[in-house]
Structure 1
Amino acid sequence: MVRIIAGERKGRVLATPTGSATRPTADRVRQALFDVLAHAPWGGPALLDGAHVLDAFAGTGALGLEALSRGGAQAVFFETDRSALAALRTNIHACGWGERCTVYPRDVTNPPAARATPASLLFLDPPYHKGLPTKALAALKAKGWIAPNAVAIIETGRDEPLPFTDEAEDAPPCAHDLLAERQHGAARLSIWRLA
């Protein structure tokens, strides 16, 4: 069972799609992640309060909806899987946040030009081992989706190279700052301040 952990919609159970096309971030991992965001010297309440959130590879929307529950203002979700899209739309409706959320049923590595305020907080939880975080962020930046100095949280496989580092084969030259890194089971979370 996946639920919103804290904030305005604390305890709200989220619909999840059937099958193995999506891999919702476990409640304990989301709790650990949001604890880091809330208590790190570069984070705190100002990071979430009024944030414009972008949840790429959204699945159920658990990450973006958690951010809204904890003070985010607006959220944009990108997802292509039909059953995940159905669950995502059900969850947005159940939370009563239709006016605060926009869903794009398309590939985030080929987004349209931004029509909303650029995101200050981004969540990327793509399929593992496909090099998608750097591709998605490059595409989003090119189309105006990312605010200056935005924070991006990227989930990869534990044994997968960190994006934007010498470990990653497709790492572009950049000045992104790694703010924190945590491992939870098979998942590796890295948090970046985007240049």
Structure 2
Amino acid sequence: MKKNARKQNAVTSKNAKLRIIGGDWRSRQLPIPEVEGLRPTPDRVRETVFNWLNFDVAGAHCADLFCGTGALGLEALSRGAASCTFVDANRSASQQLKNNLNTLNATNGEVHFTNALSYLDQENSRPLDIVFLDPPFRKGWLEQILPLLEEKKWLAQKALIYIERESENSPNFPSHWRLLKEKSAGQLTYALYERQAN
């Protein structure tokens, strides 16, 4: 998560760890690469998000776009998601995430080292039930990503979309997306939407 400019410029400590907070891998700690601006979504926020998702995670096909450490997708897999596709354009983050999936013996997670826009700008073979979106702030990513999710038919009919964004920016969400939950903490707003039939 990238809350502000100061934190975006921070470099993750060599000894930094990601702790999974629930599910089969609860309390497992995994290394995080030393990458500028790379921070997992905090435990408190993740706990809130997965309370929101509640029973929707088990059996779901997920994608963690701009995944960074993969905190959200790993949490989903730990809690019974059928699969998760991780997408990130940072080579070190992608490689560490592959290593962490191997450490966990997770065969239902796949990592794509690529730009999220490039990944979404292709035909998909299976609609996603849950999408996690935590792009870098103030780069205009959401305005480009949200239309692609619909145009390329990435979403299942009742898909859930979790989004982290800067509080001062509210992009144009598709009219058939219903806001289920939303919270703000300083410059961060995080929310859960449900896609309705259109």
Counterpart residue identity of residue 55, structure 1? D
Q: Which amino acid aligns with 2:195?
A: L
**Structure 2 counterpart SS, 1:180:** strand
Q: Within 1, Cα distance between the matches of 2:98 and 2:37?
A: 17
Residue of structure 1 equivalent to 2:188: 187
CA shift for structure 1 position 181: 0.4
Quick check: 1:60–1:91 contact (8 Å CA) kept in 2?
no
Paired residue for 1:118? 127
TM-superposed deviation, 1:185: 4.5
Does the 8 Å CA contact 1:2/1:26 hold for their aligned counterparts? Answer: no
**Deviation string, structure 1 residues 74-101 (Cα, Å, up to 9, x no partner):** 111111111111221122112111x201
TM-score by length of 1: 0.83
Q: CA deviation at 1:142?
A: 2.6
CA distance in 1, matches of 2:187, 2:98: 28
Partners of 1:9 and 1:69 within 8 A in 2: yes
Instruction: Give the drift of 1:27.
Output: 1.5
Cα distance change of structure 1 residues 19 and 84 upon mapping to structure 2, 3 Å threshold: same
How far apart, in 1, do the equivalents of 2:155 and 2:174 lie? 18
Between the aligned partners of 2:82 and 2:174, the Cα distance in structure 1 is 32
User: Which residue in 2 is equivalent to 1:131?
Assistant: 140
What stretches of structure 1 move > 6 A for 4+ residues in a row? none
Question: Distance between the aligned counterparts of 1:190 and 1:179, measured in 2?
Answer: 8
Check whether the contact 1:119–1:146 (CA below 8 A) recurs between aligned residues.
yes
2:169 alignment partner in structure 1: 161
Q: Which has the higher mean CA deviation after the structures are superposed, 179-188 or 7-16?
A: 179-188
Of the three residues 56, 61, 77, the one matched with 2:65 is 56
Q: Report the TM-score when normalising by structure 2.
A: 0.82
**Equivalent in the alignment of 2:11:** none
What residue number does 1:167 align with? none
CA RMSD, 1 decimal: 1.7
Q: Deviations over 1:20-50 (max 9, x none)?
A: 2423211121112112222xxxxxx1x1110
Whether the 8 Å CA contact 2:62–2:83 is kept in 1: the answer is: yes
Give the conservation status (yes or no) of the 8 Å contact 2:168–2:187. Answer: no
> Any idea what the Cα deviations from partners look like across 1:90-117, whole Å, max 9, x if unmatched?
22112111x20122211111223213x2
Equivalent residue runs for 1:40-79 within 5 Å: 45=55, 47-79=56-88
**Count of aligned pairs between the two proteins:** 178
Identity of aligned residues (%): 37
Tell me how far apart the structure 1 counterparts of residues 42 and 174 of structure 2 sit (CA, whole Å): 32
What is the aligned partner in structure 2 of residue 101 from structure 1?
Answer: 109
Tell me how far 1:133 sits from its aligned partner. 2.1
AA of the residue aligned to 2:116: V
Task: Give the counterpart letter for 2:157 in structure 1.
Answer: P
